[in-house]
Amino acid sequence: MAYPQRGVSSTLKWPKLMSGPSWEDDAMRAGADAPDSGRVKESAPWSYDEAFCRNLGLISPTEQQRLRNSRVAIAGMGGVGGIDMVALARMGIGKFTIADPDVFEIRNSNRQYGAMRSTNGQAKAEVMRNIVHDINPEAEIRAFCEPIGKENAATFLEGADVLVDGIDAFEIDLRRLLYREAQQRGIYALGAGPLGFSTAWVVFDPKGMTFDRYFDLSDAMNTVDKFVAFIAGIAPSATHRRSIDLSYVDIENRTGPSVGLACHLASGVVAAEVLKILLGHGRVYAAPYFHQFDAYRSIYVRKRLRCGNRHPLQRVKRRLLARYINRRSAGVIPGLRYHRTEPSY
């Protein structure tokens, strides 16, 4: 076939690859817009049943309505809590109570769902409420932009069917308060945290082992010992230990390394556990069981930690980790780096 030369008019017609009328011809006859017309097709009115119809086949219509009428309380809208909320909203959870006194900052951008240029400086709880309302305009959301403490913990958990922990890893006392309140109300409490390229989680049955007993926590412990107990207890197998440079963990400034990949893993397992709890599907492996899934190393661990953190091996781990942190804080260990990032979750 001869190709036309530049600047020379030609009546050359390219052959059609397929015989018969084209898509454009059919679209014009049907009154539809061509793909490149730039016009937006008018959407149908929003409906709950239509929005979550693709869940059916994995859960039943009756179960979907149960999710619609369930309330999940999520403390923390940062690295994990915000993604938890979106994952559960897309499952069709119809009611939320959320809390976070903080605002989004640029340094949150690597992992926090609501952290964008347009939301910088805005309240995390308000931003996440707006995002979920954009997914489900019928969602009933109570947002606390003030800190949660003894005076409002009961109000925060009022009417909740399950508590999801998205609290900063260094906030051990707040975590203890909320888990205790959840147990008194007879509801499950759980949280999954990003550790390296993995996620680790423990579920607490209101009729089972308590949070304080599993982690071996008491009011008499100092900040370092509480943090060490939490980290050692959330991931006893520590599959992430080769991934994290501990010199980037700064307890004094409450900072540490965290990536979005692990936050999304955490929210996936949280949503699955919440689904099991609300719908009664499958077995919930609650404390003293712990779980860790390391996507980077392709490892999943689920074990029963007898006696929780009081297990002799756990006591050794806690002692060694506390010693390392205290020596580093005292400057005994050389070559330390302190970087102001953000807490792990």
Model confidence pLDDT, tens digit, residues 77-130: 999 999 999 999 999 999 999 999 999 999 999 999 999 999 999 999 999 999
Pairing outcome for strands 299-304 and 289-294: antiparallel
For residue 243, what pLDDT is reported? 87
Question: Mean pLDDT over all residues of the chain?
Answer: 87
Amino acid letter, 272: A
43 vs 315 pLDDT, higher one: 315
How far apart are alpha carbons 154 and 222 in whole angstroms?
26
Average pLDDT over residues 257-274: 96
For residue 324, what pLDDT is reported? 85
CA distances in angstroms from 265 to 45, 73, 243, listed in the order given? 33, 20, 16
Average pLDDT over residues 22-43: 51
Q: Which pTM value belongs to this model?
A: 0.83
- Topology of domain 54-208+260-307 in CATH is Rossmann fold (3.40.50)
For residue 27, what pLDDT is reported? 43
Q: Is the pLDDT of residue 21 over 50?
A: no
Q: What is the band of 42 on the pLDDT scale with cuts at 50, 70, 90?
A: low
38 vs 159 pLDDT, higher one: 159
For residue 246, what pLDDT is reported? 76
For residue 241, what pLDDT is reported? 87
For residue 332, what pLDDT is reported? 55
For residue 330, what pLDDT is reported? 67
For residue 141, what pLDDT is reported? 99
Q: Among 164-178, 188-202, 329-343, which stretch is predicted with the lowest mean pLDDT? A: 329-343
231: Cα separation from own chain's centroid: 18
Q: Where are the domains of the chain?
A: 54-208+260-307
Q: Using alpha carbons only, what angle is made at residue 78 by residues 171 and 195, rounded to the nearest 5 degrees?
A: 70
Q: Among 33-37, 43-47, 94-98, 200-204, which stretch is predicted with the lowest mean pLDDT? A: 33-37
Share of the chain above pLDDT 70, in %: 83
129 contacts: CB under 8 Å, gap ≥ 6? 98, 141, 143
pLDDT tens digits for 140-150?
Answer: 999 999 999 99
CA distances in angstroms from 256 to 77, 151, 251, listed in the order given? 17, 30, 8
pLDDT tens digits for 153-185?
Answer: 999 999 999 999 999 999 999 999 999 999 999
Q: Using alpha carbons only, what angle is made at residue 290 by residues 210 and 227, rounded to the nearest 5 degrees?
A: 65
327 vs 213 pLDDT, higher one: 213
Three-state SS for the chain is: CCCCCCCCCCCCCCCCCCCCCCHHHHHHHHCCCCCCCCCCCCCCCCCHHHHCHHHECCECHHHHHHHHCCEEEEECCCCCHHHHHHHHHHCCCCEEEEECCCECCHHHCCCCCCCCHHHCCCEHHHHHHHHHHHHCCCCEEEEECCCCCCCCHHHHCCCCCEEEECCCCCCHHHHHHHHHHHHHHCCEEEEEEEECCEEEEEEECCCCCCHHHHHCCCCCCCHHHHHHHHHHHHCCCCCCCCCCCHHHCECCCCEECCCHHHHHHHHHHHHHHHHHHHHCCCCCCECCEEEEEECCCCEEEEEECCCHHHCHHHHHHHHHHHHHHHHHHCCCCCCCCCCCCECCC
43 contacts: CB under 8 Å, gap ≥ 6? none
pLDDT tens digits for 269-314?
Answer: 999 999 999 999 899 999 999 999 999 999 999 999 999 999 999 9
Share of the chain above pLDDT 90, in %: 74
pLDDT tens digits for 229-253?
Answer: 999 999 999 999 888 887 787 777 7
Q: Is the pLDDT of residue 6 over 90?
A: no
Measured over the CA atoms of residue 11, residue 17, residue 18 and residue 22, the dihedral's sign is negative
Burial annotation 241-250 (CB, 10 A radius, 16+ → b, else e): eebbeeeebb
